[in-house]
Amino acid sequence: MAITEKTDYSLIGPNAQRAAEQGLVAAEWYHPDVPRKRMKELMRRSDGPALRDTALWLALLVAFGVAGGLFWGTWLAVPCFVVYGVLYGSTTDSRWHESGHGTAFKTSWLNDVLYQVASFMNMKEPTFWRWSHARHHTDTIIVGRDREIAAMRPPDVAKLVINVIGLHDAWHTAVSVGRHAAGRLTPEEKDFIPESERFRVYREARAWVTVYVLVVAAAIALHSFLPLMYVGLPSLYGRWLAALFGLSQHAGLAENVLDHRLNARTIYMNPVFRFLYWNMNYHVEHHMFPMVPYHALPKLHAEVAHDLPTPYPSLLAAYREIVPTLLRQMREPGYYVRRELPPAAQPFRPEMHDAVFET
Amino acid sequence: MSAVDADGWVEACAVDDIEEEDVLEVHCGGRTFAVYRSPQDTFHATDPLCTHERASLADGLVQGDIIECPKHNGRFNYKTGEAKRPPARENLCIYPVKAEGGRVFIRLG
């Protein structure tokens, strides 16, 4: 059925109630059967891969940061800060994400440290986003329940474009941090952040404000905005790759389905992108089995690929679908991409997903 | 269905039904439990569902004394029931367990 007016995505609006009435809240989602023995192998935690990848990431961050400082005032600083910015403002999104799931490292405190550091660099308040992301996994792309729907219908293209340099998210994060530092939450935030966790939201926001005040003070004292090139600004000028990766996960696909094969994308990417993105290109698999660490996702993909839609061959191929879809949704908000399952794939709740499977 | 004896014990499964450092969903005494075999070869039982959003813990990952929920990675100590990692906040109910003659028994509360 075509949607003719702007959809209300609020978590406290009528669609939240409708989602509950339709059985879409905390519902049973489809996932392929993987033998328990194999699943245990795939879920097994290890510190090794994330220690190696984090050491490499930090080494690159420091190397390009130091080079940028040494070349500051010359054109050679530009490529240094381009790379530093991506490492700071984009790759931290996948580090934030994986450590938030607790799957990056086997050792819990390593996950906790990475989560706090990456959250700050990624401009995602740690406790706030922990609960937001838990909801995203419970009710993925369910209207009125999931606040992490990046491309709503009709899409706000201006917001998506300015978010390539993080401006929309940065502004909202700044407002949100200020509100939380003052000890307040919106009614919508209260919908997904339990009362017992709210003190952490306030405490973290105050710590962030302190850090930013110190960085700005350093810039003023030094009569240079170099300190801001290291902390703060890279969340904007280095954001573009995370924006490209992030939008590709669900944009233009079905809403209000209980099958991640229909509302998420798996995209084949080159090894450099997969290092930067920590394999989140296997996004259908991640949503089906969030216990599987990033380094085991390619193996999980091989295990369940027969039951999944054909993966996109590249990020470019995904955007060849996403861009026209979003443009069409601007004038036809009811339109979405219907993913085709392979002939031998298990259908799930066809009575509910008939419209999605129609071609 | 296994009978409950006078002391409240009910047979849950065979010892060999559960691998070391693993969990199994068991139906006995008209109820459902998650039964764990620890790396120390001791057996433990809890309610079967995560206290956060009711995912089956039998699909989760056992690491040492910890069971991790498959849905949101909340963690519990399955020996004490204590919630150890958000989004799990509410403790799990635990039940007395004994292993005798190659069988695992749970005492119903």
Q: What pLDDT is attached to residue B54?
A: 86
Within a domain: A2: no
Within a domain: B21: yes
Q: What pLDDT is attached to residue A345?
A: 84
Confidence of residue A5 (pLDDT cuts 50, 70, 90): low
Within a domain: B2: no
Chain B residues whose C-beta is within 8 A of a chain A C-beta are 22, 52-54, 59-61, 63, 68, 70-73, 75, 85-87, 89
pLDDT in tens, A200-213: 999 999 999 999 99
Chain B residue closest in CA terms to A40: B61
pLDDT in tens, A150-192: 999 999 999 999 999 999 999 999 999 999 999 999 999 998 8
- Flag if B53 and A108 touch (Cβ within 8 Å): no
- Flag if B63 and A40 touch (Cβ within 8 Å): no
Q: What is the mean pLDDT of chain B?
A: 94
- Flag if A194 and B71 touch (Cβ within 8 Å): no
Nearest to A63 by CA among A84, A92, A78: A84
pTM above 0.90, yes or no: yes
At residue A355, does pLDDT exceed 80? no
At residue B27, does pLDDT exceed 80? yes
Domain count, chain A: 1
Within a domain: B3: no
Within a domain: A115: yes
- Flag if B71 and A137 touch (Cβ within 8 Å): yes
Within a domain: B77: yes
Q: How far apart are CA A67 and CA A77, in angstroms?
A: 7
- Flag if A290 and B70 touch (Cβ within 8 Å): yes
**Which of A26, A43, A197 has its CB closest to that of B61?**
A43
- Domain containing A245: what range? 14-357
Within a domain: A8: no
pLDDT in tens, A277-299: 999 999 999 999 999 999 999 99
- Domain containing B14: what range? 9-107
Residue A291 neighbours by CB under 8 Å, 6+ apart: A43, A101, A103, B60, B61, B68, B70, B73
- Flag if A26 and B85 touch (Cβ within 8 Å): no
Residues of A in contact with B57 (CB under 8 A): none
Within a domain: A328: yes
Residue A292 neighbours by CB under 8 Å, 6+ apart: A42, A43, A103, A285, A286, A300
Q: For the domain that residue B83 is a member of, what is the CATH number?
A: 2.102.10.10
CA B90 to chain centroid, in Å, comes to: 16
At residue A352, does pLDDT exceed 70? no
Residues of B in contact with A101 (CB under 8 A): 73
Least confident window among A222-226, A252-256, A352-356: A352-356
Q: What is the mean pLDDT of chain A?
A: 94
Within a domain: A185: yes
Within a domain: B4: no
Confidence of residue A2 (pLDDT cuts 50, 70, 90): very low
**Span B14-20, average pLDDT:** 96
Within a domain: B1: no
At residue A358, does pLDDT exceed 60? no
**Span A261-278, average pLDDT:** 97
Q: Is the sign of the CA dihedral A31, A32, A33, A35 positive or negative?
A: negative
Q: Return the higher-pLDDT residue of A301 and A4.
A: A301
Q: How many interchain CB pairs under 8 A, A with B?
A: 44
Domain count, chain B: 1
Within a domain: B33: yes
Residue A316: other Cβ atoms inside 10 A: 9
**Span A242-261, average pLDDT:** 97
Within a domain: A1: no
Residues of A in contact with B68 (CB under 8 A): 102, 291
